[in-house]
Amino acid sequence: MTRQFKWDSGIGLLGLLLLFVGSYIGLFVAPSERYMGEVQRIMYVHVPCAWNAMLVYMLAFIFAIISLWTHRPKWDAATTAAAEVGIVLNSLLLVQGSIWARATWGVWWDWDVRLTTSLIMLLLFAGVLALRSFVHDASRRATWTAIATIVAFVDVPLVYFCVRWWRSLHQVQSTPDTVAPMMVVPLRINAFAILFIAIWMMTQRARLELDRRRQDQVSEPERLAPIGGSNNA
């Protein structure tokens, strides 16, 4: 138990440390962009949140398939944890993007294809957690969560590819060839930072879910017991 605690705490602390280093380089060392000036520095938190939100949703999708396949509680807990952490990162990327849009496009929001699909992605996974809260039977809850997660995941590739498939205000994905090396460094550091923090969060959330399920299993026979003891008499 102590060993497990050290493992995820270490990952979380490493993530935090990297986030400080990456943000420092992004804010004070990396050059400002030719047209967007200082505002472009939002990229060093916005893009890592976007990458990791999609990665975490993909993990939720994989965990959901394994959960359906095996019916083991740990995979249901992992699916729930990944969906919830994905929602946190998805919310952050929408807020950061909105701030960036206000500075560069002059509006807080536009019903652009990238922004709209990202909002739908958030609502779909929020729907997964809402659906989960309505089902009381643990086994049925796990099945519904897995199915809903698989359905919700359909939007994730759409978010990634929509800027290539349709006309969008949002720029297409950059590559290290199109970005200055000093801009790539903080971007990558923060990407790993958010990834490590997300892993820590998912581990904590999954553990909480498993503990809750264990408690439900213990209290279930008490709820089902007849009032006044045995009714065999």
Partner 1 sequence: MPDGVIIGGWNYVIAAYSITAAGLLAYAWSLALRRRKFRTQEEG
CA distance readout (Å), 173 to 45, 168, 200: 15, 12, 27
CB of 114 to partner 1, least distance (A): 17
Q: Could you give the CA distance from residue 226 to residue 79 in angstroms, rounded to a whole number?
A: 35
Nearer to partner 1, 11 or 88 (CB): 88
CB of 56 to partner 1, least distance (A): 13
Nearer to partner 1, 76 or 209 (CB): 209
Nearer to partner 1, 34 or 164 (CB): 34
CA distance readout (Å), 7 to 12, 73, 147, 192, 198: 9, 22, 31, 17, 14
The footprint of partner 1 (CB under 8 A) covers: 23, 27, 34-39, 41-42, 45-46, 49, 85, 88, 91-92, 95-96, 99-100, 102-104, 197, 201, 204-205, 208, 211-212, 215
- The answer to whether 52 and 89 are in contact (CB under 8 A) is yes
DSSP assignment, residue 154? T
Q: Is the dihedral of CA 83, 146, 212, 136 positive or negative?
A: positive
Nearer to partner 1, 137 or 211 (CB): 211
CB of 148 to partner 1, least distance (A): 21
